[in-house]
Amino acid sequence: MIPLEHVLVLSGLLFALGLCGVMMRRNVILVLMSIEIMLNGANVALIGFNKYLIANPVDGSVAPDGQVFVFFTIAVAAAEAAVALVIAMALFRRLDTINVDDVANLRW
Amino acid sequence: MESLLFYVFAGLAVLSTVLTLSVKNPVYSAIFMILSFAATAGVFVLLDAFLLATVQVLVYAGAIMVLFLFVIMMINLRNKEAEGLRISPFALLAAGTFLVLLGRAINDLGPAVGRRANELEGTPELLAETLFTGYVVPFEAVSMLLLAAILGTVVLSRRQTGEDAR
C-alpha cells in the first residue's frame, strides 16, 4: 500500500519543478512544457486523493470523482496546448523570436 | 513490490522532469517530457487509475507531445536561441515556499483511510458511468471548450493576406 503522503510529495515535487521551469526558461515552448508539467503534478494529487476517498457512509458506494476530474484536466490541457502553440507560431512569424523577454510590450 | 515500483516510477518521473527543464535542445526536452509522462502513467496504474494511464500515454505522451515536436521543428531555431537554464533566485524562492507550505499541509493531514477495494476501480465501465451520469454538464462544457480551441487554432494559424499583413 502506497502512503498518501508519498503520492502528495511526488505531486508537489512535479509542481515545484514546473514552477521553476516557468520562471527560469525564456523559450516560450519550454514555458508551455513547464505548464503541462504543473498540470501533470496536480493530476497525480487528484488520483492519489481518489484512491484514499472515504466511501459514502449511507450506501457504501464509491464514485471515482478524482479520476473524472483528471479526465477533464487532460482535455483542458490539450485545448490549452493547441491554442498556445499556435500563438507561439504566430509570434515567431511576426516577430521572428520565441524568447519571452523580447515580447514585453504589455509589461509596465 | 507495489510500493517499490511506485518509488521507481516516481524517481524516474522527477529525474526526467529535471532533465526536461535543464537540457539546452528543445527536442531533447520534448523527449524527456515523454519519458516523464510515461513514468507518471506507471504511477497512475499503481494508484488503480488504469483507464487514465492509457489516456495519459495516448493523449499526453502521444498527441500533445507530437504537437510540441512539430512546432519545435517548424520554428527551426537555427541554434541562435538555444539557451539553457538560468538559475533565478526568485524561482527557487517561489518553489521553496511552495514546498514548505505543502510539507506543512501534509503534516496536518489526518490519518489516511484506505478505501474499500472495488473490483471496478479505474475501469472504463465505472469511469464512464460517473462521467455520463453525475458529470454530464461539465462534459458538455469541455466539448464546447475543445470546439472553441479548434476554431481559435484555425483562425490564428490562417496566413494573413493583403492589407491585413503588416
Contact residues, chain B, for A8 at CB < 8 Å: 102, 106, 109
Of the ranges A29-33, A54-58, B137-141, which one carries the lowest mean pLDDT score? A54-58
pLDDT at A8 over 70: yes
> Which of B30, B43, B126 is facing A64, going by the closest CB pair?
B126
Distance from CA of A108 to the nearest CA of B (A): 19
Mean pLDDT is lowest, of A59-63, B73-77, B92-96, B127-131, for: A59-63
* The pLDDT value given to residue B118: 63
Q: Indicate whether B117 pLDDT > 60.
A: no
State the pLDDT at residue B166.
47
Cβ atoms of A39 and A73 closer than 8 Å: yes
Residue among A48, A107, A93 at smallest CA distance from B76 = A93
Dihedral angle sign, alpha carbons of residues A52, A53, A56, A57: positive
- How far is residue B158 from each of residues B60, B144, B161, measured CA to CA in Å? 26, 21, 9
pLDDT > 70: percent of chain B: 84
- Cα dihedral: A51, A52, A56, A62 (round 10): 10
Residues within 8 A of A (CB atoms), B 101-120 only: 102, 106, 109, 112-116, 118
Section B16-27 average pLDDT: 91
**Residues in chain A within 8 Å Cβ distance of B130:** 63-65, 67-68
* Three-state DSSP state, B134: coil
Most B-contacting residue of A26, A47, A83, A97 (CB-CB within 10 A), to test interface: A47
CA–CA min distance A100, chain B (Å): 11
Output the average pLDDT for chain B: 85
pLDDT given for residue B83 in this prediction: 64
Quote the pLDDT of residue A35: 94
**Option in B7, B21, B44 nearest A25 (CB):** B21
pLDDT of residue B127: 87
pTM: 0.88
Do A76 and B142 count as a contact with CB atoms less than 8 A apart? yes
Chain A residues with CB under 8 Å of B95 CB are 16-17, 19-20
- CA B13 to chain A, closest CA, distance in angstroms equals 8
Q: How confident is the model at residue A32 (pLDDT cuts 50, 70, 90)?
A: very high
Region of B17 please: left (phi>0), alpha (psi -120 to 50) or beta. Answer: alpha
Dump pLDDT digits (tens) for A46-78: 998 888 876 666 666 667 888 899 999 999 999
